[in-house]
């Protein structure tokens, strides 16, 4: 029997960078299926998820400004830096915002999921 080992990830793939897109894929795909609660949770605490959702929802309120900032940014790192400075977001919130389509449907799904998390955490 031959054993194979996973190769180390290149430096550009940090744990946070891999976790955030997976979180958004779940949120976006859940809306496509029509059932938000059927999607399993990623390996992330509910408090961190809620922090990300609240930051993204706050940025949705200023969607036009966010879109303009993203158009003017040359690359991902510049966009993250500018989002953090302009909107007082954390690195996770800014990274998540870049991976998310700025559509009203997506905003509604995130708001619904954030409300579910708040309710679960307040029990």
- Whether the CB-CB separation of 45 and 116 falls below 8 Å is answered with no
Residue 106: predicted pLDDT: 86
Global pTM reads 0.60
Residue 79: predicted pLDDT: 92
Residue 30: predicted pLDDT: 55
**DSSP label at 40?**
P
C-alpha to C-alpha distance for 46 and 36, rounded to whole angstroms: 15
């Amino acid at each position: 029997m031959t054993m194979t080992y996973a190769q180390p990830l290149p430096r550009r793939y940090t744990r946070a960078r891999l976790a955030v897109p997976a979180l958004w894929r779940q949120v976006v795909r859940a809306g496509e299926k029509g059932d938000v609660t059927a999607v399993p949770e990623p390996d992330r605490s509910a408090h961190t998820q809620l922090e990300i959702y609240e930051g993204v929802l706050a940025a949705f309120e200023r969607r036009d400004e966010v879109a303009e900032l993203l158009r003017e940014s040359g690359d991902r790192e510049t966009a993250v830096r500018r989002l953090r400075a302009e909107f007082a977001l954390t690195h996770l919130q800014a990274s998540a915002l870049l991976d998310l389509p700025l559509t009203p449907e997506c905003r509604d799904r995130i708001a619904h999921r954030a409300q579910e998390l708040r309710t679960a955490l307040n029990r």
